[in-house]
Structure 1
Amino acid sequence: MVKKKFSYNPETLCYEHRRDSFGQRALRAGAWTLVSVAVGFGIMVAYTSLFATPRSHVLQRDISDREIALGMLRERVESSSRQLAIIENRDNNLYRTIFEADTIASSIREGGVGGVERYGKYSTLPGGALLRGVAQDIDKLTWRAYVQSKSFDDVSRLAYTKDRMVHCVPAIQPVSVQQLTRLSSPFGYRCDPFNHTAKMHTGMDFVGSYGTPIHATGDGLVVVASMSDGGYGRQVVIDHGFGYKTRYAHMSSISVTEGERVKRGQEVGKMGSTGRSTGTHLHYEVLVKNMPVNPALYFSDVSEEEYENMLANAQIQQMD
């Protein structure tokens, strides 16, 4: 019940009932409304601060779960990074060393994964700092894995080349020890049997019986299989690749054709005495980048002792 208000009227010397104007009543009502709203808002803020709503509780729980999941993901990324570091170390210090390849610098393996703006989108998200860190770690790991994959491609190519080279480089005698009568003229200067002057002998002469099989000393491509216009007689030249060639001269017959691919140990012809020759033998040359080198350096199937015995038993006789 609204209390009535009275005021003293000095003219009538009586207390008279006072009535407020409409404006006064409206102002008073507005003031009470504002106070009520303010008090209600304050109560709501205090309640939501002290007591989470079901929706906010669910959201907070989701954020916590995601932070835990991101933490676990980061641990797995770090574990993978440590395992990759072991592989990188083995690649640099073992695989690339074996194949005589340059190691990959750390600056290349680590590389760059973009500027700050690349990860700016994570800043406004809940747990943005953690998200950004995980994203950076994943990008670094991805780059390192890419570099390592490329390195393994290089090592695979080197291994394939090395395997081919092992089979192609001259590595055996062209005449088996069992069928060899003797070594006649080694590599180096000697007296030419025809003009009796000092002349460089660019190969080695193997003496054996007429028709003794002659074998390719490495895998390769036959580039010459014909009668020589010079003094080599019937000859075969094999290109082994990697800068290596071998020549087999003075043969009685040829067992291969030009353009044919041969394997180490395959017969390429028979021993004879065609061309500029004084007797049955094989003149054998090894050329590296078209320059003759000592064939004895490429006899992996002959021990040092066996080679010394061959030289000791050699009868230095100029055959070509």
Structure 2
Amino acid sequence: MAKVKYYYDSENLAYRKIKVRKRKKFGVAVLFLVASALFGFICFVVLLNTPYFETPKDRLQAREIDNLKLNFSILNKKMDQIDDVVAAIEDRDNNLYRVYFNKSAIPDSVRKSGFSGKNRYRALEGYDNSQLVINTTKRVDVLSKELAIQSKSLDAILKLAEAKGDFLSAIPAIQPVRNENLKQMASGFGYRTDPFTKARKMHEGMDFTAKTGSPIYATGDGFVAKADNTASGYGNHIVIRHGFGYETLYAHLSKYKARAGQRVKRGDVIGYVGSTGRSEGPHLHYEVHKDKKVVNPLNFYYGNISAVEYVVIAQLANQENQSLD
């Protein structure tokens, strides 16, 4: 039962009962109900936006987001591998193909430049994982541009090559020892530890470790200028003059297959791996000379290996170790 309320009537000096109108009671009741409903709705919205209240749909979306993050992570790892291969192709393009034809190298500022002008990725902004998506999209765009530039460059090189068939045949362009006969890349071009004096000295070629008797191949067309053991340290060795300023040397042979004055084609067997002369074990010491200056043979293995194999060989050849001669 509701309490009865009174007020004091000062004129009549008496207490009188306060009468509440039904309309007012109804209004108060309605206001209370509206306020309660509003408060309940606010609480419900707050709960929906807290991690403590998760619907099945929220859980499904969370799993989808986690899967997308994983896929983006895998995609970025694959792009890392593609970047390595593209970098190797670009290196060979600048330092080999373009050098052959006296073409200027394409600078990195052109190959790896971004995209100027308006913001291409505005539509991807404003989401929880926007940065991940934007960064990955940028990498794909830059990689696509690099491949487009490289494709155009190789098209230009191909046109030049079609007019210079003899020149290309003369270039020492393959490994002198095939991969199936190769034990390891023992030492590369550069400063290495001498196996006899233990001092660091310039190693002017590459050492290919293989079994005695493994075939050695001419790396380009030319004629055999020398096939003897008169040069100090090289033991049995062959020198091929290819023309256009190129010359190759093959040292420590066990025996010869070619003789001085003989013309050879790229891929012809000219001798066999051995350990004659100043040598620590069976291997081929191989040098490339251009215009009477020694150059790194690694820049010339484009005729019989893939870009991925080139990356592996480059990593092995660039290790600081001891040479075999």
Q: TM-score, normalised by structure 2?
A: 0.48
